[in-house]
A and B are shown apart, each in its own frame.
Chain A
Amino acid sequence: MGQRVHVFIAEPSPIIRNGVISVLKGISNIDIAEISDVTTLMAQISRYMPDILIVNPSYLGLFSLDMLRSKVGGAIKIIALQYTLLDEAITKQYDDVLSIYSSAEVVKEKLVGVISSSDKSIEKQGLSVREKEIVVCIVKGLTNKQIADQLCLSTHTVMTHRRNISNKLEIHSSSGLTIYAIVNKLVELDNIKSVISSDK
């Protein structure tokens, strides 16, 4: 696992939130961020696109997991933070369940397990619809700012998407992406001719 994994913890109780954070701190290669206010959850998720979200299921309220996943192109792993008995129908929608009574070792093991499975799934996955749109924009020669304006995203989100695209495809240059886009028929050469000939 090369790059850092971004973990978000959405939990209203500061005692429990900080408890979880202190247990997670022992795991290398992760960045932890906390969300205490439920109303900002969706905005924060789509802005920072964490790899893993640990969330109190009762806190999630009206947001559906599918909605959360679709916001970040399906790559996010969502772990339920359980401190009361929960209906299995609820927990099985999550990628894993953490009980607040788990020992520190179990918590770490679970998280490492989820991280490594998310590594594999990223490699196997093709690009999401959003990522394909961004590839097309890059190939057309748009800047991050222009892409953000056109797709109504923040430039930060565009950069995160670009990083994910590079990781998935292992292509790091825009001319490499041009080949990818043409081969996969995301664009026609005629649409980008002006960009290609004006390069250099």
Chain B
Amino acid sequence: MYKIVKYESQDRMGDLICDNYPMLLVLSRFGMSLGFGEQSIGEVCKSNNVDVKTFLAVVNLLIDDSEKIPKIIDAEISIPALIKYLCNSHKYFVEFRLPLIRQELVNALGDNKNDVNLVIIKYYDEYVYEVNRHITYEERKVFKYVESLIDTNVSNKYNIEIFSKRHDDVECKLSELKDIIIKYYPNSSSNELNSVLFDIFSCAKDLESHNRVENALFIPAIKELERLKKID
């Protein structure tokens, strides 16, 4: 579906985004806007003060959908830039995407306050609550830890391995809701319901991509940082 090539800083930003539309999300999470004309990836990153190596690492990881996690992590990726990306990504899900899907879901289910509709919305709300908890933990505990690691030294109380072990796949329960609606929702299918299902499919995929960045880039980068700090 998308071209799988490795992008480099001299490639045009327009080519990257047009050939891989999900990268639109990466663009905005790094705080870059559209309208870059014919500029290269390097130029667009530079004019937006974005670390180009980190941007390319994320882009190339997400474009290559194969399951393998790259073994060698580019030591030159910027951890602050990656944290900013992850925080913006969290914000996107919590403040924009998930509330929008809820709104669509409510519309698609209609005014009928029957039992089934009530429990579906309840399921969804529980899910959002879990995502919030997941994200709050990352931002308050993990990112704070990493920031202090950059400034000072290794902490004995916490390390990234703890996070790595408890980092669960936050998208599973959302996919399950979609499966339940598809298999068991009694009403005849409507355009609204199809539309919200499409959105849930794509949101689950986005969440999976987000997790991939955390597992394949963020965690290994922090492990490397911990190793370097211990040597110091």
Q: How many contacting A-B pairs (Cβ < 8 A)?
A: 47
**Which residue of the partner chain, among B123, B172, B184, B186, contacts A175 with CB atoms under 8 Å?**
B123
| Interface pair A182/B179, CB less than 8 Å apart | no
Provide the B110-126 mask, 1 if CB < 8 A to any CB of A, else 0.
00000110111011001
How large, as a class, is the contact surface on chain B?
10 to 19
A side interface size, CB within 8 A: 17
Does any Cβ of A come within 8 Å of B129's Cβ? yes
Instruction: Tell me the complex Cα distance, A182–B126, Å.
Output: 17
Which B residues touch A184, using CB under 8 A?
Answer: 184
- Complex contacts, A175 vs chain B, CB 8 Å: 119, 122-123, 126
Q: A188: nearest residue on chain B (CB-CB)?
A: B115
Question: Which residue from A170, A178, A200 sits with its C-beta under 8 Å from B119?
Answer: A178
Residues of B within 8 A of A180 (CB): 180, 184
**Which residues of the partner chain A approach B161 to less than 8 Å between Cβ atoms?**
none
- Residue of B with least CB distance to A184: B184
Cα A172 to Cα B176 with chains together (Å): 8
Assess whether A170 is in contact with B173, with CB atoms less than 8 Å apart. no
Please measure, in the bound complex, the distance between the C-alpha atom of A175 and the C-alpha atom of B118, giving whole angstroms. 12
> Closest CB of chain B to A34's CB: distance in Å?
37
Say whether A189 contacts B176, CB under 8 Å. Answer: no
Chain A residues with CB under 8 Å of B119's CB are: 175, 178-179, 182, 189, 196
Given contacts A188-B115, A189-B119, contact A179 B180 (CB under 8 A): yes
Chain B residue numbers with a CB within 8 Å of A170 are 176, 179
Interface string of A168-184 (1 = CB under 8 A from B): 00111101101110111
Let me know if B163 is at the binding interface, CB within 8 A. Answer: no
A199 close to B (CB within 8 Å): yes
Interface flag for B198 (CB, 8 Å): no
Given A179-B119, A183-B185, 9 further pairs, Cβ under 8 A:
A173-B173, A175-B126, A176-B176, A176-B180, A183-B116, A183-B184, A199-B126, A200-B126, A200-B129
Q: List 14 A-B contacts (CB under 8 A).
A: A171-B179, A175-B123, A176-B173, A176-B176, A176-B180, A179-B123, A179-B180, A180-B180, A180-B184, A182-B119, A183-B116, A189-B119, A200-B126, A200-B129
